Structure 1
Amino acid sequence: MKKPLLVLSAVTLSISALFSPIPTYASLPLTISGQPLPSLAPMLESVTPAVVSIAVEGKQVSTRQLPEQFRDFFGPNFPAEQVQERPFRGLGSGVIIDAANGYIVTNYHVINNADTIRIQLHDGREKEAQLIGGDEMSDIAIVKIKSEENLTEIKLADSNQLRVGDFAVAIGNPFGLGQTVTSGIISALGRSGLNVENFENFIQTDAAINSGNSGGALVNLNGELIGINTAILGPNGGNVGIGFAIPANMVKNLSEQIIEYGQVKRGVLGVQGGELTAELAEAFGYKTNHGAFVSQVLPKSAAEKSGLKAGDIIISVNNKNIRTFSELRAKVATLGAGKTITLGIIRDGKKEKYTVVLQALEEQKTAAVKLHSGLAGAELVNSSSKDNAQGVKVASVASDSAALKYGLESGDIIIGVNRQRIKNLKQLREILETKPGVLALNIQRGDQNLYLVVR
């Protein structure tokens, strides 16, 4: 569809200005008092080849419950719900983090539900990409293209060293215009609360970020990646100088897990709590309200094993100060199960340190009987990058079980249910929550593609 021209501004010229000589770029001075003009161009020339444009296509599947009158009229075999598929296209950005293996990091929401992912490199080349894995709650995904000698990767900075006021440059593909660069500063750190269900620890910047910038790079003046541009705060979906990026350290932790396992192995500390108010801090002998208040330590959790207690105030993770409980939650969840961390706490007005080994989140493995009685006896997990398909993998099938009776085998990968493509346990749960009478499971078994009917 042809886009209308945008009128940016009205300009009034005097008659003399119309006949004034127009300077050419070649005639403009390149130095001031013999010194070169300051410019971001040299840094950007080395960084922009690592930022790519992403185009996706897919189908959004929705279900609608039909009135009971339909079944009364057409008979009991008439479907109880109507399935609708609507094609969609989307644009976003990505950053090459491993040129040797062709790995590109982007936002999960950029590639969510995509059937095809195409990458356009800085020099115009286009490549088909394969989804390696992603994490919806932290909004990070990894895709892979065929590695070539002339791919450029970006170096990751230590985002823990960022300060409010540091210069920042955003690179991406806003509105599908092509690669665009904007600049600003770091406006705030540790932002959260945009979506309470997700793990958020955002960098806030006033560098212009718009639709299509999602998944693009936020870099420092050394050309190092400090964040992945993710969201904006604007009344009409446009830039108002408040953009958010996922910090590079968080991106690094998540990317390593997705590349190795095909998913994020969530780390769990095992505490409940909330934000530290000034009154609460004073009551516990702490002079500021920066930190995370622990109201409960869960039994047999990593926190209990390490000696943490209710009433503790956690003020740092791995010697880096934290400001809020949301920041603690995001850092712990994205570090990964099995990681050893050092927590700085305030207890009875005194500073102490504790070493904690994070536990794994139990929900990463699901007993299928909780989903559907016909799947009883099967244990389901999300497939990994080592499997031959993306979907829900059957980790094991118990003998004399309903799952075995219906033909499920260990190693099967469920890639679809009732004509709906699924890529993870979350999508499988959403379908089964509608309580369909019959499950037509599309199974990938080795090189075979088959259907199993489960009642």
Structure 2
Amino acid sequence: MKKFFSLVGMAVLGGAITLGGYKLFFKESNERIVVAKSMPNSIQAVQTNYDPVYTTNSTAVRAEAIDFTMAAEKTVHSVVHVKNTSIRTKSSPLDIIFGNGSGTRKFEQIGTGSGVIISPDGYIVTNNHVIEGSSDLQITLNNKKKYKAELIGADKTNDIALLKINVDEVLPYTPFANSDMIKIGEWVLAVGNPYNLTSTVTAGIVSAKGRDLEGNGNIESFIQTDAAVNPGNSGGALVNTRGELVGINTAISSKTGSFIGYSFAVPSNIAEKVVNDLLEFGAVQEAILGISVDMRFKEEGVKVGDVFYEEGAPKSQLKPGDIIKSLNEIKISKFSELRGQLTAKRPGEFVDIVVERNGELVKEKILLSKRSTYISTVLGISLKDLTVQEKKKFDLKGGAKIIENSNNNLSYYGVKKGFIITKVNKKTVLTAVDAKNSIDNSNFGNGNPLYLEVINLEGEIERYGIR
């Protein structure tokens, strides 16, 4: 009997211990489960710019939200390696001392970068600085095939160049997208050939738009991203998650020469417009509003300083003191954004501009006119196309008249305001933009002289070698 009660007591005690352990253990487990289930309800449902990959009833993000394989696969075969071979001249005083030569030596210099095939017949867009000064250009496709490239045209101001390779096959290409539609925070991919590593893809987000780089000679309107871009990426593709071209990777912000978190791309709208101008006109057609900008204005928008008119341009509806707020429904917060929008337009186009005038918002339809005055940043001179009368007077087909000269070096040689430039580095120039591009795209300043042929104020031909 004692043994029986002993067994019963042990069973009761064991059951009590088991029940207590069950409550203790599963009470904690149930609390954890409740917390875990409450977490998704605290997350706000959002939608991406293009594809609604999130839903309010889903507890997980679809794979497409972070899957870049489709965009990478579309782009990687259309991004090429660009090899630029140029001939440089280097001074060698020892040759003069020992009588072994003229005091200069020529040597071959090789640079590399990237490019993007934009048509199935072999047109390629890249940066001007990738091909600048080239004597030979070689393109290597992703399949390792090599082709000699022809330079169709280049624009130093926007750092865009257009190349062409002749092929007997249909090439993969990346189509242009509307860069105005990308949003800050949107995912993008940078595809290029950094450090000669072909077919490299990196990802990041759009950090800013309409970015102007300090120390840059031009007012730009870059797309800023945090996608890793390194030397060799220049001229490569910046694409959205659908594999469409939204920019041409151009620069990085770095103290070391390598990527430290910021990269910059020329917006696709600007690149596409430059390409079309080079194909149709051989030079970029710059559209202007016919205004000067009050750079002292630090608030949101762009304040009109003076209103002026190029020769033959219609009278503008803009007035001094107007604050430009938007252009074609694109918000304008600063001058670089306005500059970017105008760069993507052509003379003769109409644009809708909203301005703040006397405290009220006013909408004006403005006809963009063509710039006839161009500034060479290399020489610091302003150039203007010749009038019909000037061409007839000097029996010229064209040229570029110097209307402003702030270059003391040119003044030293005797080149003055009013001189007409007819040749740059022994090549005939017919327009102001032609002369500007020839001067700014030359190797002047890298140990090479700049040769100018001009008509002086007396109508005489003079030739100069500027160093």
TM norm. shorter chain > 0.5: yes
Report if the CA contact (8 A) 1:303-1:356 is conserved: no
Aligned with residue 355 of structure 1, among 344, 349, 365: 365
Report if the CA contact (8 A) 1:98-1:104 is conserved: yes
Is 2:317 the counterpart of 1:307? yes
Aligned counterparts of 1:413 and 1:178: Cα–Cα separation in 2: 37
Aligned counterparts of 2:211 and 2:257: Cα–Cα separation in 1: 19
Aligned to 1:59: 87
Is 2:424 the counterpart of 1:424? no
Aligned with residue 173 of structure 1, among 193, 199, 204: 193
| Mapping 1:342-381, distance limit 5 Å | 342-363=352-373, 377-380=395-398
Report if the CA contact (8 A) 2:288-2:369 is conserved: yes
CA-to-aligned-CA distance 1:6-25 (integer Å, 9 cap, x gap): xxxxxxxxxxxxxxxxxxxx
Aligned to 1:390: none
Report if the CA contact (8 A) 2:133-2:441 is conserved: no
Aligned with residue 121 of structure 1, among 118, 127, 141: 141
Aligned with residue 161 of structure 1, among 159, 171, 181: 181
DSSP-derived class of the 1:378 partner? coil
Quote the sequence identity (%).
33
Query: Alpha carbons of 1:82 and 1:337: their partners in 2 closer, same or farther (altered >3 Å)?
Result: farther
DSSP-derived class of the 2:220 partner? coil
Report if the CA contact (8 A) 1:368-1:377 is conserved: no
Is 2:352 the counterpart of 1:331? no
Number of residue pairs aligned between Structure 1 and Structure 2: 348
Aligned to 1:419: none
Measured after TM superposition, the shift of residue 63 of structure 1 is: 8.8
Pairwise CA RMSD: 3.9
Query: Alpha carbons of 1:214 and 1:434: their partners in 2 closer, same or farther (altered >3 Å)?
Result: closer
Measured after TM superposition, the shift of residue 306 of structure 1 is: 2.5
Aligned to 2:111: 90
Aligned to 1:224: 244
Query: Alpha carbons of 1:367 and 1:154: their partners in 2 closer, same or farther (altered >3 Å)?
Result: closer
Report if the CA contact (8 A) 1:270-1:301 is conserved: no
| Mapping 1:275-286, distance limit 5 Å | 275=295, 277=297
Aligned counterparts of 2:215 and 2:125: Cα–Cα separation in 1: 21
Uncovered stretches (5+) of structure 2, i.e. residues with no partner: 1-59, 97-101, 375-382, 388-392, 401-419, 430-435, 455-460
Uncovered stretches (5+) of structure 1, i.e. residues with no partner: 1-32, 71-80, 279-288, 370-374, 383-402, 416-421, 441-451
* Larger strand percent: 1
Which residue identity does 1:346 align to in structure 2?
E
Aligned with residue 332 of structure 2, among 322, 326, 330: 322
Measured after TM superposition, the shift of residue 439 of structure 1 is: 6.6
Aligned counterparts of 2:338 and 2:278: Cα–Cα separation in 1: 21
Aligned to 1:6: none
Aligned counterparts of 1:55 and 1:429: Cα–Cα separation in 2: 18
Aligned to 1:75: none
Query: Alpha carbons of 1:290 and 1:120: their partners in 2 closer, same or farther (altered >3 Å)?
Result: same
Report if the CA contact (8 A) 1:258-1:264 is conserved: yes
Measured after TM superposition, the shift of residue 428 of structure 1 is: 7.6
Instruction: Give TM-score, length-normalised by structure 2.
Output: 0.65
DSSP-derived class of the 1:256 partner? helix
Report if the CA contact (8 A) 2:131-2:137 is conserved: yes
Aligned counterparts of 1:113 and 1:189: Cα–Cα separation in 2: 30
Report if the CA contact (8 A) 2:74-2:174 is conserved: no
Aligned counterparts of 2:124 and 2:67: Cα–Cα separation in 1: 28
Instruction: Give TM-score, length-normalised by structure 1.
Output: 0.67
Larger Rg, first or second structure (1 or 2): 2
CA-to-aligned-CA distance 1:314-348 (integer Å, 9 cap, x gap): 11122211221122123324423333222221111
Query: Alpha carbons of 1:318 and 1:363: their partners in 2 closer, same or farther (altered >3 Å)?
Result: same
Report if the CA contact (8 A) 1:254-1:335 is conserved: no
Query: Alpha carbons of 1:226 and 1:111: their partners in 2 closer, same or farther (altered >3 Å)?
Result: same
Aligned counterparts of 1:427 and 1:158: Cα–Cα separation in 2: 28
Measured after TM superposition, the shift of residue 174 of structure 1 is: 0.3
Aligned counterparts of 2:308 and 2:386: Cα–Cα separation in 1: 26
Which residue identity does 2:438 align to in structure 1?
N
Aligned to 2:127: 107
Query: Alpha carbons of 1:238 and 1:127: their partners in 2 closer, same or farther (altered >3 Å)?
Result: same
Query: Alpha carbons of 1:122 and 1:322: their partners in 2 closer, same or farther (altered >3 Å)?
Result: same
Aligned counterparts of 1:435 and 1:245: Cα–Cα separation in 2: 31
Aligned with residue 74 of structure 2, among 42, 46, 70: 46
Measured after TM superposition, the shift of residue 302 of structure 1 is: 8.9
**Which range moves more in the overlay, 233-242 or 251-260?**
251-260
Report if the CA contact (8 A) 1:367-1:379 is conserved: no
CA-to-aligned-CA distance 1:243-288 (integer Å, 9 cap, x gap): 000111111111111111222111122211145755xxxxxxxxxx
CA-to-aligned-CA distance 1:136-188 (integer Å, 9 cap, x gap): 01101100111443301112221111111100110000011212111111111
CA-to-aligned-CA distance 1:85-113 (integer Å, 9 cap, x gap): 5532100001111113x111100100111
